[in-house]
Amino acid sequence: MSVRLTARPLSIPQAWRELEGPGTGAVVVFAGRVRADAGPLGRVLALVYEAHEGPALARFRALESRARRRFGVTRSVIWHRVGRLRVGEVSVIVGVASPHRAAAFRAARDLIEELKVTVPIWKTERARPVRRPRRPRDRRAGRSAG
Amino acid sequence: MTRPVRVLFFATARTAVGRAEVDWPVPPGGISAAALAGELETAYPALARTLVTSRLVRNGRYVRRRSERVRPGDEFAIHPPYGGG
């Protein structure tokens, strides 16, 4: 079982190694990445993540216990980045190992959905402002002024 | 002189207040969570909107009752709705 809040890049191969073990018939790894959404502030260039560290790690551990109890998960990884992440960078990795695939899929889905709404982590957009074209009337006004 | 309460602001709460944390003086016997939130709202009016949707956290645990005492030396955090992932 592994939980982590870190400013350093997350490694999917490293997460995979954490999930190896005898008796593991199924491994599901989910990675969330920063999208280049068009938000209200413009095109997203980066997201800045912050966390209330102590309570966030405590909640990660509670989610691990829940995955073991509800889905019979034998190993798990819950890692989240903090700090400024550019578009395309991995912000979160949730991975589980269990004897069979059905439980592994359900557990991974449950972990990421619960993480998003119950762990004190927040993100703020850093965006490139949208440039609005000047209207023809504005251009005329500009010429007459010059 | 009693120790203050360390108040932590995150996300929209930090934006409203303009800083991440502040040391807040409280009486030796403490103050209710509701009263402390009220004092913060008075000091930082822009915080009012965020407080409506936020959870209050004392020493890493959710405040279950608004009458719960926040005592000198405690950590008191304002958690706007979460958005990890």
Say yes or no: A85 contacts chain B, CB-CB below 8 A.
Answer: no
- What number of C-beta contacts closer than 8 Å exist between A and B? 50
User: Residue A138 pLDDT more than 80?
Assistant: no
Answer yes or no: is pLDDT of A139 > 90: no
B16, two tokens: 């409203």
End-to-end CA distance of chain A: 69
Residue range A59-99, pLDDT digits in tens: 999 999 999 999 999 999 999 999 999 999 999 999 999 99
Q: What is the pLDDT of residue A109?
A: 97
At which residue do the structure tokens 């440039």 appear?
A: A131
CATH number belonging to domain A2-130: 3.90.1170.40
The nearest CA of chain B is from the CA of A7 a distance in Å of 14
Cβ-based contacts of B7 with chain A (< 8 Å): none
Boundaries of every domain in chain A: 2-130
Q: For residue A143, what pLDDT band results from cuts at 50, 70 and 90? A: very low
Residues from chain B that touch A115, judged by Cβ atoms under 8 A, are 84-85
Confirm or reject contact between A49 and chain B (CB < 8 A): yes
Class of domain B19-77: alpha beta
- Domain positions in chain B are 19-77
Q: Pairing between strand A90-98 and A75-81?
A: antiparallel
| A122 to B80: CB separation less than 8 angstroms, yes or no | yes
Cα–Cα distance for residue pair A23/A85, rounded to 1 Å:
36
pLDDT digits (tens, 9 = 90+) for B3-22: 999 999 999 999 999 999 99
pLDDT tens readout for residues A18-51: 999 888 999 999 999 999 888 777 888 999 999 9
pLDDT confidence bin for A136, thresholds 50/70/90: low
pLDDT at residue A128, as a whole number: 77
Task: With beta carbons less than 8 A apart as the criterion, state whether A76 and A111 touch.
Answer: yes
- pLDDT tens, A90-119? 999 999 999 999 999 999 999 999 999 999
At A76, list the tokens: 């798990």
